[in-house]
């Protein structure tokens, strides 16, 4: 059974899809599909990445039947097993193009880490987010504590991680973390519509914007000003700016997709 696949529909989108086996529990096959998807995103023809899942649940995180086997491994080998997950999160965050995820049902554990690593989240209004590691005597990985600390108040992150509670996606929407809420079953189409809007935009400018916003959490204000200065100076001399400014002055939609 194929647990994950990458699709290229020829419309500038790399779609990384997962089937419903074990509610989308993580697997080596999924890690490989994600890494392949972001390798494809290096090609200029790809202008956005969409992460989605079949079967009504985005991702249930790690498979406990697999994790229990790690109890028998030396600690250095357990470190190595986590590398694949962390490399995948790094690949999402380092993407040269915007990354959107479509969430039906929910995202749990490392599945929530994946969702929060994306730039934009579209979720069904009945979905739930869960970080229940503590119930299995485990602690979060996949950058989840970092992502939660940036996304929600400290007490909300503690509620999820210390109590292992599932929280309704509406609480994340209220916090501004979820880009759009949809009726159940409509998240995939809404995410695809959002991705279509992104693919019509300026690829290079969007890539720089992703980096600037991500780095703003770590850099000093002076360093951020310097980074923005470099980015803007380069953008002003590029073909995207020439097309965008011309389109604005001529009162027409920009045709970024026609640029090389």
One domain, residues 60 and 173: yes
CATH number at residue 226: 1.10.12.10
Angle (deg, nearest 10), helices 203-215 and 239-249 = 110
One domain, residues 185 and 223: no
DSSP-assigned beta bridge partners for residue 8: 14
CATH number at residue 147: 3.90.226.10
Q: Where are the beta strands (DSSP E) in 109-239?
A: 120-124, 128-130, 166-168, 180-182
Q: Is the pLDDT of residue 46 over 60?
A: yes
Tell me how many domains the chain contains.
2
Helices (H), 73-141: 75-93, 110-117
pLDDT in tens, 213-244: 999 999 999 999 999 999 999 999 999 999 99
One domain, residues 96 and 170: yes
One domain, residues 153 and 90: yes
Residue that wins the pLDDT comparison between 8 and 174: 174
DSSP-assigned beta bridge partners for residue 100: 50, 120
Alpha-carbon separation of residue 119 from 12, 39, 67, 92, 167 (angstroms): 17, 18, 29, 9, 20
What is the C-alpha radius of gyration for the chain, rounded to an integer number of angstroms? 19
One domain, residues 144 and 48: yes
Buried b (16+ CB within 10 A) or exposed e, 173-194: beeebbbbbbeeebbbebbbeb
- Distance of alpha carbon 244 from alpha carbon 255, whole angstroms: 8
Range of the domain at 219: 203-258
In the chain, the percentage of residues whose pLDDT exceeds 70 is 93
Q: What is the pTM of this model?
A: 0.91
pLDDT in tens, 100-155: 999 999 999 999 999 999 999 999 999 999 999 999 999 999 999 999 999 999 99
């Amino acid at each position: 059974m194929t647990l994950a696949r990458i699709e290229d529909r020829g419309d500038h989108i790399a779609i990384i899809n997962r089937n419903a086996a074990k509610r989308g529990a993580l697997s080596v096959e999924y890690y490989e599909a994600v890494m392949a998807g972001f390798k494809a995103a290096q090609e200029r023809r790809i202008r956005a990445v969409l992460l989605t899942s079949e079967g009504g649940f985005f991702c249930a995180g790690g498979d406990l039947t697999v994790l229990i086997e790690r109890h028998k491994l030396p600690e250095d080998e357990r470190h190595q097993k986590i590398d694949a997950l962390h490399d995948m999160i790094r690949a999402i965050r380092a993407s040269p193009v915007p990354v959107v995820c479509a969430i039906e049902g929910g995202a749990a554990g490392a599945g929530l880490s994946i969702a929060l690593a994306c730039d934009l989240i579209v979720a069904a209004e009945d979905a739930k987010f869960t970080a229940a590691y503590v119930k299995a005597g485990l602690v979060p990985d996949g950058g989840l504590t970092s992502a939660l600390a940036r996304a929600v108040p400290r007490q909300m992150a503690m509620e999820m991680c210390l109590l292992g509670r599932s929280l309704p996606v509406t609480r994340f929407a209220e916090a501004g973390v979820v880009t759009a809420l949809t009726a159940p079953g409509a998240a995939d189409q809404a995410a695809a519509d959002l991705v279509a809007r992104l693919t019509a935009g300026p690829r290079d400018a969007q890539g720089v914007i992703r980096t600037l916003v991500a780095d703003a959490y770590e850099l000093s204000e002076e360093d951020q000003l310097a980074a923005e200065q470099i980015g803007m100076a380069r953008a002003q001399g590029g073909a995207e700016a020439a097309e965008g400014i011309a389109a604005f002055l001529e009162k027409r939609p920009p045709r970024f997709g026609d640029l090389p």
